[in-house]
């Protein structure tokens, strides 16, 4: 076996030592703080953008869901809002009370099932449950509320006009 020249690495990785400079710990920490601050600022901007977009009617399409006569009290209907990737549920609680929420459980995105007689949405994956009026978790592993769809009733028609993401 042939022995390598101990200085052979210098030929593979030539360094101009005259142009090189020493990086102190203080300079390294300064750099890390600046980069971390940049990432934090970016995350803050993304969060604010999401918050501003969650206002009802701002940037969301107006979608006709049904007429007032289509659903009886206690019945529900599925729809997609604000796009085809977001399944939602519309539930008629009383004669003049309607609610709509995203159908994906906030725990692991399983489909929730409305149970108006028990006043809840039920997630069969891990036995989670959400209050049917507020979308807040009342049982199981989910910790965040279901995102709610803002509704508008005009001319005996029910429309989806906005979306409120769950807080917390």
pLDDT, tens digit (0-9, with 9 covering 90-100), for 18-43: 777 788 899 999 999 999 999 999 99
**Once rounded to an integer, what is the mean pLDDT over residues 49-77?**
83
**Residue 71: pLDDT over 80:** yes
Q: Is residue 3 in some structural domain?
A: no
Residues 104, 110 contacting (CB under 8 angstroms) = yes
pLDDT > 90 fraction of the chain, expressed in percent and rounded:
73
Burial of 163 from C-beta contacts in 10 A (0-12 / 13-18 / 19+): buried
Q: Is residue 29 in some structural domain?
A: yes
Q: Are residues 75 and 123 in the same domain?
A: yes
Confidence band (pLDDT; 50, 70, 90) for 4? low
Q: Is residue 114 in some structural domain?
A: yes
Angle (nearest 5°) at CA 51 between 127 and 146 = 15
Q: Are residues 27 and 102 in the same domain?
A: no
**Residue 3: pLDDT over 80:** no
- Identify which has the larger pLDDT, 53 or 130: 130
**Once rounded to an integer, what is the mean pLDDT over residues 46-62?**
72
- Identify which has the larger pLDDT, 11 or 117: 117
Q: Are residues 119 and 146 in the same domain?
A: yes
Summarize the chain as % helix, strand, coil (round to 5).
20, 35, 45
Q: Are residues 72 and 151 in the same domain?
A: yes
For the entire predicted model, the pTM comes to 0.66
Q: Are residues 78 and 30 in the same domain?
A: no
Domain extent for 92: 63-164
**Residue among 60, 86, 75, 52 nearest 151 (CA):** 60
- Identify which has the larger pLDDT, 12 or 121: 121
Q: Is residue 94 in some structural domain?
A: yes
Q: Is residue 28 in some structural domain?
A: yes
The rounded distance, in Å, linking the Cα atoms of 143 and 106 is 7
**Residue among 68, 61, 127 nearest 97 (CA):** 68
Looking at the structure of the chain, the number of domains it has is 2
């Amino acid at each position: 076996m042939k022995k390598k020249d101990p200085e052979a690495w210098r030929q593979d990785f030539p360094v101009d030592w005259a142009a090189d400079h020493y990086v102190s710990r203080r300079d390294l920490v300064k750099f890390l703080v600046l980069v971390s601050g940049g990432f934090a600022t970016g995350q803050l901007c993304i969060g604010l953008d999401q918050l501003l977009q969650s206002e009802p009617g701002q940037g969301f399409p107006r979608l006709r869901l049904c007429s007032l006569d289509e659903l009886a009290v206690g019945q529900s209907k599925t729809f997609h809002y604000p796009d085809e990737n977001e399944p939602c549920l519309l539930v008629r609680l009383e004669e003049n009370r309607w609610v709509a929420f995203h159908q994906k459980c906030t725990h692991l995105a399983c489909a929730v099932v409305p149970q108006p007689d028990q006043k809840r949405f039920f997630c069969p994956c891990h036995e989670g449950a959400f209050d049917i009026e507020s979308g807040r978790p009342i049982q199981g592993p989910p910790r965040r509320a279901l995102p709610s769809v803002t509704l508008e009733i005009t001319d005996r028609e029910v429309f989806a006009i906005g979306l409120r993401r769950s807080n917390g």
